[in-house]
Homo-oligomer: A and B are copies of this chain.
Amino acid sequence: MRNRGVLVVVSGFSGAGKGTLMNELLSKYDNYALSVSATTRSPRPGEVDGREYFFKTKEEFQSMIDNNEFLEYACYVENNYGTPKDYVEKQLEEGKDVLLEIEIQGALKVKQMTDDAVLIFILPPSAEELKRRLTGRGTETPDVIDARLKRANEEAEGIEKYDYVLVNDNLDESAAALHKLIQSSHCSTFRNIELINNIREGVKRFSEGE
């Protein structure tokens, strides 16, 4: 029943462990591709165009906006970031399930743009555990932790707009659960119209005595 890939939009609070989960999926299973964003910021040492990002000038980025080439994009004071449609589409056509890790505003734009995205919000096991993870890193100032909690508080408002939530407690188990969830999405009726029509036509022929 594998055909076109599923576009998987993953969001979650800072400290929920999204990035680690994505990497686990990519390293354990071979059916995933990571969406590559376009950005106007300069490459950092070691970053490769088309791998970490598609690096664009402000003019190129604007032209992509004008030509409706983004699934979603956001323009900040310093730099712009966006998800190019054609890269995602190419991976989906090849049957890859595309992982797109973005924040909630972007996720909701993608949902508007395309019916067949699956939106998943990664949750910590509890708010206490989220706070522990944010403070426990020991590398951030109280101001930064405070800003993240405030941001988490804003993002928490939109969780109901996602299709699924997944608690990230144990990395192995959560990655396996996420993988199952994504694979199960392939069974959605609207993703199998061709198969259904084929069987329907055959059954019709046989029932008419052919």
Contact = CB atoms under 8 A, between A and B. Distances in A.
Interface of A: 1, 13, 120-121, 123-124, 126-128, 130-131, 146, 149-150, 152-153, 156-157, 159-160, 162-167, 177, 180-181, 183-185, 187-190, 192-193, 195-196, 198-207, 209
A167 B206 contact: no
A207 B162 contact: no
Contacts of A183: 177, 180
A136 to B, nearest CB: 14
Nearest to A164: B187
Copies in the complex: 2
A131 B206 contact: yes
A196 B160 contact: yes
A179 to B, nearest CB: 9
A122 to B, nearest CB: 11
B123 A195 contact: yes
B127 A189 contact: no
A11 B4 CA distance: 25
Contacts of A203: 13, 127, 130, 149, 152-153, 156
Nearest to A150: B207
Given A153-B207, A165-B196, A207-B150, A126 B188 contact: no
A124 B199 CA distance: 8
